[in-house]
Structure 1
């Protein structure tokens, strides 16, 4: 397949299908897809097809059979669903990438068992780019795909995280394992064994890192199990928005000098908000499967969908998967 083809799940997410259609338009209008073909998977209305007729868009039939109550394993029986069909088309090399804001568990199951795992990978994982000091991203793996893991799976996570870091321009990424302390004798047996696994392989493993240090510049790739990673992610997101809301309330209730100071800092405050805005990051890569599978935020609006399409296109164009060491 010479031309890059990006699949987009019409369904899933709080604002679908309207956000999906508008996100596709946003992506084309802002030249996020360049020479790629967008393939919308679902039952697109004639009215929506008219909105998209001037863009390079094609369609695959798929039904809206998955919602937030769908159990992950059920997706394997829902073969007419948009998620199943999208992942199946990645497996068949009909799509380079597939983007969905739908049910995370169902998407990850379809990615693993329908698209299939890359050779040599036992545990695909969610890899997420977090903001960090000096403008360099920090890659968190696993951000929620595998609640229970074995020590050997950390080697898969490391390879997936390193591939993502290199994709983002980080040479020879430094790898750390999230732990309750930095000393080698600290932590549960699992992370101690995981550390030994990484030491035995050709990984630039630095050591343990505490969660409070994840934004520092000592590590590039941070490894943990999916249960811990997802809780870290949600804690960061909740804390960040709490601080911003409290700051906003303090400015509103403050005096003249407080408001003047806020006005002078307006640019910096918007910059800070942008760094933690999920819409700017588009989506999370589920790495280790056959194809570039992107999970968009469940609350994605058109801008977030467009950014998810952009990262899927960029990953396909630069062949992100080729950086995963087998």
Structure 2
């Protein structure tokens, strides 16, 4: 039975959202053949899970917040983030989910859980919607400053993630300001030359406008750019949906009738653009399955994060990365 850990205190809406999301996941069989390990205060919250026989607690403190620096988090050995990553290191958890401080989680993941042998830089990988199979963006925020050779680590981590998602022989591209080989910064041009020398299915550069539609499967960039892309996508999606909703309200009877007739299509669009459906991002390259849920995760997002973590544990994504290395 796989053991899936959850940070009770991670996220803007914790611990309530974590408790509700965990209960939802348990009641709706998101964690089949898994034990849920809640990293937090057992005394205050264990009674909420009395009806479940596959739930346990590891006591930890709520000491990491959004203002905690990554280096400080490494000294907070009783915090839920530190303890969760320590449990990963000791193989007492098969996966750990947190919606807490990103910097603190990445620091603990790298230096407490530890990196996989042969990986210099772990990275955040996120699935983006597309017309066919999801696109994989990596790095989505772990490494603001990188070297060309780090792109090779990102590629191998992305290949393992693609394999986990059922994508075979994925096409690998680098995010750039143009598709021509002479365009871009020294970093991306050197990274492209580096990947060309490796036995990878590298297909060249992809522009920002083709993130959702380009002929690729894995899109590699530095963490600063990747996180900016991700946040821009989220902001744009919310803006479009809110403006569409406002336009329908102002449009009168015919607009509302039209919206009613298109209800299924509009709901499908909203679902594709909703980060909650994807649960979280994988922090790949560490010695264990570490899932970073969105900081503003509600119960639905937490439940989905637990689901993807359990599936990654069952399919052993860490071994897939090790195989690539």
TM range (shorter): over 0.9
Residue 187 (structure 2) aligned to one of 187, 190, 197: 190
Structure 2 residue aligned with 1:264: 261
**Number of equivalent positions:** 322
Moved over 4 A (4+): none
1:299 aligns with 2:296: yes
1:144 aligns with 2:149: no
| Alignment deviations for residues 130-189 of structure 1 (CA, whole Å, 9 cap, x no partner) | 00122x100000000100000000000001111111111111110000001000011011
In structure 2, stretches of 5+ residues that fail to align are none
Please say which of residues 206-215 and 53-62 is displaced more in the overlay: 53-62
CA contact (8 A) 1:133 1:217 kept: no
Please say which of residues 193-202 and 173-182 is displaced more in the overlay: 193-202
Structure 1 residue aligned with 2:111: 113
| Alignment deviations for residues 5-40 of structure 1 (CA, whole Å, 9 cap, x no partner) | 011101021111111111111011110100101111
TM-score (norm 1): 0.97
Structure 2 residue aligned with 1:81: 79
SS of the aligned residue for 1:236 comes to helix
Deviation of 1:255 after TM superposition, in Å, equals 2.7
Deviation of 1:217 after TM superposition, in Å, equals 4.5
1:282 aligns with 2:279: yes
What CA distance in whole angstroms lies between the structure 1 residues aligned with 2:312 and 2:36? 15
| Alignment deviations for residues 67-104 of structure 1 (CA, whole Å, 9 cap, x no partner) | 00000111111111110010011001010110001000
Structure 2 residue aligned with 1:315: 312
CA contact (8 A) 2:178 2:206 kept: yes
CA contact (8 A) 1:151 1:191 kept: yes
CA contact (8 A) 1:125 1:157 kept: yes
Structure 1 residue aligned with 2:224: 227
Structure 2 residue aligned with 1:100: 98
Deviation of 1:54 after TM superposition, in Å, equals 2.2
Q: Tell me the C-alpha RMSD between the 2 structures.
A: 0.9
SS of the aligned residue for 1:58 comes to strand
Structure 1 residue aligned with 2:151: 154
What CA distance in whole angstroms lies between the structure 1 residues aligned with 2:183 and 2:42? 54
Please say which of residues 184-193 and 253-262 is displaced more in the overlay: 253-262
| Alignment deviations for residues 256-311 of structure 1 (CA, whole Å, 9 cap, x no partner) | 22221111111100110001111111111000001100001111111111110000
Structure 2 residue aligned with 1:206: 203
Residue 29 (structure 1) aligned to one of 27, 39, 46: 27
What CA distance in whole angstroms lies between the structure 2 residues aligned with 1:213 and 1:130? 12
CA contact (8 A) 1:279 1:307 kept: yes
